Amino acid sequence: MQEWKGRFSESCRAALATALVQARTQTAPWQWSLMETAAMLHAGQASSAELTAACLARVQAANGGPPSFDGAPQSVNAWARLYPELAMASAQAADRMLSSGDPSPLLCGIPLGIKDVIAIAGLPLTASSRVLEGNTATEDSAIWAGLRAHGMVPLGHTHLHEFANGATSDQVGNPFDLRLSAGGSSAGSAAALATGMVTAALGTDTGGSLRVPAALCGVATIKPTYGRVPLAGVIPMAPSRDTAGPMGRTVEDCSVLLHAMLSDADGVPPAEAFANGAHHLPVVPRAGARPLQGTRIAMTDRTHGLALDADVAQAVLRVRELAMALGAEVVDLPAPRSLLSADDLALLLYPEAWAYHRQHVPERLHLYRPAVRDTVEKASRTYALTDYIATRERRDLETLAWDRWMAEQRVDVVLEPTVHYVARPRGRGYGAASGTGSLNAVSLPRQWNILGYPVVAMPVGLGANTGLPVGVSLVARRLGEHALVQAALDLQTALVDGAQALQRRLWPPTPGA
What are the residues whose beta carbons fall under 8 Å from the beta carbon of 368, sequence distance 6 or more?
129, 130, 131, 162, 163, 376
Catalytic residue annotation? 115, 185, 209
Does residue 296 carry a pLDDT above 90? yes
- Asked if 430 and 170 count as a contact pair (C-beta separation under 8 A), the reply is yes
- Exposure of 94 in the CB half-sphere (CA atoms within 13 A): 32
423-474 pLDDT per residue, tens? 999 998 887 766 667 778 999 999 999 999 999 999 999 999 999 999 999 9
471 closest CA partner among 192, 166, 212: 212
The mean-pLDDT minimum among 207-211, 219-223, 262-266, 453-457 falls in: 262-266
The angle at the Cα of 505, spanning 488 to 459, to the nearest 5 degrees, equals 15
202 closest CA partner among 221, 219, 215, 184: 221
% of the chain surpassing 90 pLDDT: 91
The band of 94, judged by pLDDT with boundaries at 50, 70 and 90, is: very high
The band of 512, judged by pLDDT with boundaries at 50, 70 and 90, is: very low
**440: how many CB neighbours lie within 10 A of its CB?**
16
Q: What is the pLDDT of residue 504?
A: 87
What are the residues whose beta carbons fall under 8 Å from the beta carbon of 107, sequence distance 6 or more?
34, 38, 147, 150, 151, 152, 200, 256, 257, 260, 270
341-375 pLDDT per residue, tens? 999 999 999 999 999 999 999 999 999 999 999 99
pTM score over 0.95: yes
The band of 511, judged by pLDDT with boundaries at 50, 70 and 90, is: very low
Does residue 513 carry a pLDDT above 80? no
The listed range with the strongest mean pLDDT (19-23, 402-406, 499-503) is 402-406
The band of 153, judged by pLDDT with boundaries at 50, 70 and 90, is: very high
Task: Please state, rounded to an integer, the average pLDDT across all residues of the chain.
Answer: 95
109-135 pLDDT per residue, tens? 999 999 999 999 999 999 999 999 999
- Exposure of 23 in the CB half-sphere (CA atoms within 13 A): 24
The listed range with the strongest mean pLDDT (26-35, 195-204, 493-502) is 195-204
What are the residues whose beta carbons fall under 8 Å from the beta carbon of 417, sequence distance 6 or more?
215, 303, 308, 312, 313, 315, 316, 444, 470, 471, 472, 473
